[in-house]
Amino acid sequence: GAVVSQHPSWVICKSGTSVKIECRSLDFQATTMFWYRQFPKQSLMLMATSNEGSKATYEQGVEKDKFLINHASLTLSTLTVTSAHPEDSSFYICSARANLGRQSTGELFFGEGSRLTVL
Amino acid sequence: AQSVSQHNHHVILSEAASLELGCNYSYGGTVNLFWYVQYPGQHLQLLLKYFSGDPLVKGIKGFEAEFIKSKFSFNLRKPSVQWSDTAEYFCAVNAHQAGTALIFGKGTTLSVSS
């Protein structure tokens, strides 16, 4: 099956520093990747849609200058949390949709998630 | 805008009991519907999905869901739960055309006692 890998799975950083999270599709190409944020005991909230070779589309209320998304290749998207603060502590999950020819009608494949703790 | 509502926040069952988790969505067009499961410490896994055709969809691990268009519902069912079904269950929807993100419900925590 399709595999999406995130790295790191767990990161602790000091307030004010920046953290980069990588999302890779290991066995398929993903034109589109999505970044979600999950608070404890809550649902996944869509943060942004990342399209290869173009700017990400952010959901209302998500600061694009704080959550920098880069989708430089068909297998890699990165989320950088800039000047992190304790309220940014959360579980960040990426997902990817395979290109046409493989279940392109809607199924997303999810990464394992990255837990960010900002001290 | 699309939205998904899951009615049960926390469901507690004994093994062998039957399960039904409610899911309603709000969207004016044609949708794809999904149920995902998240076991403790693991990532999301797809249980089943509906794109079109037979509204009764069978998924993995004995789960099934029925799409009732008139009720905008996609309830998840299992005739007899097991302790290993203890997990968080998420209903999700996206617009039928390719390229749109999934919108998730708030999730239902299922606790099964042996």
Spatial CA neighbour of A46 closest among A57, A62, A35: A35
End-to-end C-alpha distance for chain A, whole angstroms:
37
The answer to whether the beta carbons of residues A78 and A70 sit under 8 Å apart is yes
Our CA-based measurement puts residue A55 at a distance from the nearest CA of chain B, in whole angstroms, of: 15
Q: How much of chain B exceeds pLDDT 70, in percent?
A: 96
Q: What's residue A51's pLDDT?
A: 87
Cα–Cα dist B73/B70, whole Å: 8
Q: Quick: pLDDT tens for A47-84.
A: 999 988 888 999 999 999 999 999 989 899 999 999 99
Amino acid type, B94: N
pLDDT of the residue at B1: 73
Closest of A48, A96, A94, A56 to residue A75, by C-alpha: A96
Residue B98: band (very low, low, confident or very high) from pLDDT cuts 50, 70, 90 = low
Residue A89 in this model has a pLDDT that exceeds 90: yes
Which residue among B36, B51, B104 places its CB closest to the CB of A106? B51
| Token pair of A55 as six digits | 């700017």
Query: Lowest-confidence range among A1-10, A74-83, B104-113?
Result: A1-10
Per-residue confidence band for B44, with pLDDT thresholds at 50, 70 and 90: confident
**Cα angle vertex B112, ends B109, B114, to 5°?**
165
Domains of chain B, with CATH numbers? 3-31+39-113 (2.60.40.10)
Residue A37 forms beta bridges with which residues?
A45, A92
Question: Band of the pLDDT at B99, cuts 50, 70, 90?
Answer: low
Beta bridge partners of A91: A38, A115
Among the partner residues A43, A93, A105, nearest to B106 by beta-carbon distance: A43
Pick the closest to residue A108 from B72, B57, B103, B67 (CA basis).
B103
Model pLDDT, residue B114: 87
